[in-house]
Amino acid sequence: MLETNKIKPYCYILKRVKDNMKYFGVRWANVRYNRTPIEDFGIFYFSSSTVFKKDFKQNPEKFTFEITNTFESKDEAIEFEHKKNTKYLHDKGWANKNAYPAIFNEIPPMLGKKHSDANKLKMSIASKERAKPENVTAQMKAGFKKIAEHHKGKPSGMLGKNQSKEVRGRMSKSSMGNKSNTGRKFTEIHKKNISKGGMGKPGTMTGKKHSKEALIKMSAVHKGNKHNLGNKASEETKLKMSLAQKKRFSNINERSKISVATLGRKTSDETKLKMSIAQKKIFSLKSKSEIDVAMEELRYRKFKKQI
């Protein structure tokens, strides 16, 4: 119900006469000053539009306006404005290009410019400060929730698309020398949060199988990959790997998980043949040290089978 003679938050439409360009806005500060919409707009308040505000104040005869709605609360008025703005953002007849829920600029304001190192540092500090749990407000949480709900069930914007070679080249160059995560260690709380986030959720490939085409592509990508060729683990690294495996297999829960996962699984004839060839190859070795290494590997495999 429109009540322009009562002290309430309100929405308005301001129109420029010469080209019929319109702007839709909201106002609630009039309540603080004990002014009704008709006592406030065009007298004390001249809209929030950067396009119209100054001209409307100096030349009111060039504009017309209408109080369209009044509200019981500020939140109700803001919510109504948000809904309206989603309709007007892409309409060239409306000046609501820099209003919630989005900002559109025909020419990006940073086009051809770069932030200075000092500005980058300030932005980084401010961003980290905002991300602290104590600084996350209820309004921010509500915003995050709305964004999440908006994207829920919708496919990714890049689904079925591939970045061009030119774009991939630019992305690669921009990442070169990026050491933002070098030496970073997750806190125990962070680790637990990551763990909780993945608990109870199936893997992305659960119940799925790679197509033959995908397998061929993956095989082709890895062929000739020699990034680890000639690399030898240090004694310290070997010890760490050994301790990690021992710790894993000494855990009853871990062993039971492996047991359940392999229960009822049958080895194909092809795999049996491969295993047979591998065993024969081990015993065809002449060097005692090679046989010792091979036997150690064999014992470890048998140990894993018994679990």
How many beta carbons lie within 10 A of that of residue 48, not counting itself?
14
Ramachandran bin of 282, using left for φ above 0, alpha for ψ from -120 to 50, beta for the remaining angles: alpha
Banded pLDDT at 203 (limits 50, 70, 90):
confident
* The two three-digit tokens of residue 194, written as one number: 């990551």
Helix (H, G, I), strand (E, B) or coil at 115: coil
Banded pLDDT at 102 (limits 50, 70, 90):
low
Domain that holds residue 25: 10-103
Q: Is pLDDT of 293 > 70?
A: no
Residue 208: inside a domain, yes or no? no
Residue 271: inside a domain, yes or no? yes
Domain boundary among 56, 76, 103: 103
The model's pLDDT over 229-245, given as tens digits with 9 standing for 90+, comes to: 777 888 888 888 888 88
The model's pLDDT over 182-197, given as tens digits with 9 standing for 90+, comes to: 777 888 888 888 888 8
Banded pLDDT at 213 (limits 50, 70, 90):
very high
Residue 136: inside a domain, yes or no? no
Overall pTM surpassing 0.75 (yes/no): no
Residue 183: inside a domain, yes or no? no
- CATH number of the domain where residue 73 is located: 3.40.1440
When pLDDT is averaged across residues 190-218 and rounded to a whole number, the result is 86
How many beta carbons lie within 10 A of that of residue 28, not counting itself?
17
Burial of 248 (0-12, 13-18, 19+ CB in 10 A): exposed
Instruction: Output the furthest CA–CA distance in the chain (Å, rounded).
Output: 103
Residue 219: inside a domain, yes or no? no
Which of 109-118, 193-202, 219-228, 246-255 is least confident? 219-228
Q: Is pLDDT of 227 > 80?
A: no
pLDDT on residue 300 = 67
Residue 265: inside a domain, yes or no? yes
When pLDDT is averaged across residues 195-212 and rounded to a whole number, the result is 85
Over the chain, what is the mean pLDDT?
Answer: 84
When pLDDT is averaged across residues 83-106 and rounded to a whole number, the result is 72
Domain boundary among 103, 127, 151: 103
What distance in Å separates the CA atoms of residue 85 and residue 49, rounded to the nearest whole number? 13
Phi, psi of 14 (to 5 degrees): -110, 130
Residue 65: inside a domain, yes or no? yes
Q: Is pLDDT of 165 > 80?
A: yes
What distance in Å separates the CA atoms of residue 116 and residue 186, rounded to the nearest whole number? 30
Domain boundary among 103, 121, 143: 103
Residue 111: inside a domain, yes or no? no
pLDDT on residue 302 = 64
- In this structure, are residues 66 and 25 in contact, taking their beta carbons and an 8 Å threshold? no
What is the domain count for the chain?
2
Q: Which of 110, 96, 114 is nearest to 49 (CA)?
A: 96
